[in-house]
């Protein structure tokens, strides 16, 4: 079978043609990225480290990247958000497992001058099954996310 030159050439050319077809269809028919429109609300995508006890949760959409951590301070847990861009404000609601909508959000406070680091003292440690609802506002847009608190199970300790 491999002595026939037509079969050998077909075995070499077919994978190359399939790869070219894959990328060609992606370029012609795939979704093209668009710039954000001012005044719109955009969802943030959870990275994989949010799904397990990593200590950190990353949320992204385009050039906006947020990193969440729950640090165990001496007196109370502290939710810390670090952003890749300057934010106008951040609101977070901790929704207990099985709770209905209507949980009032808490406003995070900026802890640096360029408003890229935000903090919120939590009343109690985040329980298994709790969810975080987050809204981060830039000068032009708002970004939203709802995520599990599983990432907060890792021990991150900071003394003040």
Fold exhibited by the domain 41-153: Immunoglobulin-like (2.60.40)
Q: Is the pLDDT of residue 102 over 80?
A: no
Is the pLDDT reported for residue 157 higher than 80? Answer: no
Q: What is the pLDDT of residues 103-155, one digit of tens each?
A: 888 999 998 888 899 999 988 888 888 889 999 999 999 999 999 888 887 66
Q: Please tell me the predicted confidence (pLDDT) of residue 90.
A: 95
Q: Would you list the DSSP string of the chain?
A: -TTSHHHHHHHHHHHHHHHHHHHHHHHHHSPPP-PPPTT-EEEPEEPGGGTTT-S-EEEEETTEEEEEEEEE-SSSEEEEEEESS--SEEEEEEE-TTPPS-PPPEE-EE-STTS-EEEEE-SSPPPTT-EEEEEEE-SS-EEEEEEESGGGGS--B---
Is pLDDT of 99 > 70? Answer: yes
Query: What distance in Å separates the CA atoms of residue 23 and residue 157, rounded to the nearest whole number?
Result: 46
Q: Is 44 a residue whose pLDDT tops 60?
A: yes
| Residue 89 in this model has a pLDDT that exceeds 90 | yes
Task: State the pTM of this model.
Answer: 0.75
pLDDT given at position 3 = 85
Contact 127, 30 (CB under 8 A): no
What tokens were used for 88?
């106008």
Per-residue confidence at 92, pLDDT binned at 50, 70, 90?
very high
Q: What is the pLDDT of residue 114?
A: 87
């Amino acid at each position: 079978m491999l002595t026939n030159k037509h079969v050998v050439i077909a075995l070499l050319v077919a994978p190359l043609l399939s790869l070219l077809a894959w990328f060609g269809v992606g370029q012609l028919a795939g979704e093209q990225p668009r710039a954000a429109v001012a005044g719109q609300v955009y969802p943030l995508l959870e990275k994989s480290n949010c799904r397990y006890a990593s200590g950190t949760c990353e949320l992204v959409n385009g050039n906006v990247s947020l990193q969440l951590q729950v640090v165990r301070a001496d007196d109370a847990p502290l939710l810390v958000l670090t952003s890749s861009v300057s934010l106008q404000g951040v609101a977070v609601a901790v929704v207990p497992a099985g709770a209905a909508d209507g949980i009032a959000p808490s406003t995070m406070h900026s802890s640096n001058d360029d408003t890229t680091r935000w903090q919120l003292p939590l009343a109690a440690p985040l329980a298994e099954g709790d969810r975080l609802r987050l809204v981060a506002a830039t000068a032009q847009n708002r970004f939203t996310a709802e995520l599990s608190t599983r990432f907060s199970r890792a021990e991150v300790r900071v003394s003040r």
